[in-house]
Amino acid sequence: MNNLIEKVNKALEEYMVEEYPQDIFKSMKYTVTLPGKRLRPVMCLEACRFFGGDMEAAMPTACAIEMLHAQSLIHDDLPCMDNDDFRRGKPSNHKVFGEAIAVLAGDALLSFAPQLIIEKSDKLSDSVKIKVLHEFMKTAGAYGLIAGQVVDIESENKGIKDSKVLEYIHTHKTADLFRLALKAGAIIAGADEKGLQDMDDLAQKFGLAFQIYDDILDEISTFEELGKTVGKDKEANKLTYTSLYGLEKAREKVNSLFAEIYDIIDKYNSEVFRYIIDNMKKKLDK
């Protein structure tokens, strides 16, 4: 796992150039290279391995997915969205570069990332690139992250407390990026339909588990542990699994999803996924 994270960090440093106009490139690089967990690029490389693919061939795509994730974090932290001053243990992008540049840095990453897939994926055929880009577009747009974010904002404004709406938000705000990572890695390795279906299933279960886990940590952790403001969801009366069912039921749900995830990843002998889930369990048990 640490080896994969190091490889991803090295590639991100290489891809995040600082050109003219420097303000925008600096702002893009700032959030992308802050120390996140790199779950999505690592999962993309791991899914590629599941199906016997060449991890090096998947590296530009893995990094592009981390860039899309960073874009969503930059925009999510803006005053017009979640209004968060900290991210990954440091001031949020707009706190350092100002709102205008932060909006533009997110926008720029949204096109810089697929441009990278096209320009740097020498080992991929054009037809594989198109399939990967198709998944990328579905995730980034109104069928993916944006759909999740819009319903999240609406449900907060209207005080909606509905489990179906909650699942919709988790599916699109959170699971869709894991889906992109796992499916893109599998596509690059030439996985068949059954393999792609497994990745879809794994992403959905992991995404739901991860968002509920994130909501639990928001209630039980400190700023130092998370590197971001804690307790904001409760304060804003946000629709979350913990607000709907309470902490204990939320822990039960995460554990039952983990059990289902183990059934899938054991088929693929995934030490990486085991490491990720074991770490999540430790944080929940503290």
Residues in the site for ligand GRG, rule: CB under 6 A? 36-37, 39, 69, 72-73, 75-76, 81, 88, 110, 140, 145-146, 149, 173-174, 211, 214
Give the nearer residue to ligand GRG in terms of CB position, either 57 or 209: 209
Least gap, CB of 127 to ligand GRG (angstroms): 25
- Please list, in sequence order, all residues whose beta carbon lies within 8 angstroms of the beta carbon of residue 235, skipping any fewer than 6 positions away: none
Give the nearer residue to ligand GRG in terms of CB position, either 57 or 239: 239
Least gap, CB of 130 to ligand GRG (angstroms): 20
Q: At what angle do helices 126-140 and 176-188 cross, to 10 degrees?
A: 180
Give the nearer residue to ligand GRG in terms of CB position, either 45 or 191: 45
Least gap, CB of 152 to ligand GRG (angstroms): 8
Q: Which residue is nearest to ligand GRG (CB)?
A: 36
Q: At what angle do helices 193-220 and 39-50 cross, to 10 degrees?
A: 150
Q: Which pair of tokens denotes residue 131?
A: 């399939």
Q: Are 94 and 78 in contact (CB under 8 A)?
A: yes
Least gap, CB of 253 to ligand GRG (angstroms): 16
d(CA 6, CA 35): 11
Give the nearer residue to ligand GRG in terms of CB position, either 189 or 276: 276
d(CA 255, CA 109): 35
